[in-house]
């Protein structure tokens, strides 16, 4: 499956969509919450969190992403308004 970012949140976590059916998937839960695949879980893929220095030791050709993309976009802009400071945005489960 190929996923995109929906721009929506579900229980304060990112919702992805699959490009084939546009089902919505919870990034944190790894399962579809809306659409054709609702309830379907993704297979967990093992991963590791390492420092950039450790990665460079493994692969000298490692590259870093940059905000210097040549596009006219403000990467410092926070698109969610007062979401982090407004208590009305919190789930009380």
Distance between start and end Cα atoms, the chain: 31
Query: What pTM, to 2 d.p., does this model score?
Result: 0.58
Length of the chain: 93
* Average pLDDT value for the chain: 88
**Is the Cα torsion angle 53, 71, 9, 23 positive or negative in sign?**
negative
In whole angstroms, give the CA distance from residue 9 to residue 1: 20
Q: 44-81: per-residue pLDDT in tens?
A: 999 899 999 999 999 999 888 888 888 888 888 888 78
Give the pair of three-digit tokens for residue 34: 């809306």
Contact in structure between 17 and 32 (CB atoms under 8 Å):
no
In whole angstroms, give the CA distance from residue 86 to residue 12: 13
């Amino acid at each position: 499956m190929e996923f995109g970012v929906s721009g929506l949140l579900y229980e304060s976590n990112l919702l992805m969509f699959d490009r084939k059916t546009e089902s919505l998937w919870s990034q944190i839960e790894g399962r579809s919450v809306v659409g054709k695949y609702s309830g379907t879980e993704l297979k967990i893929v093992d991963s590791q969190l390492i420092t950039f220095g450790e990665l460079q030791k493994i692969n000298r050709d490692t590259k870093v992403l940059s905000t210097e993309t040549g596009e006219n976009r403000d990467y410092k802009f926070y698109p969610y308004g007062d979401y982090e400071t407004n208590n009305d945005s919190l789930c009380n489960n």
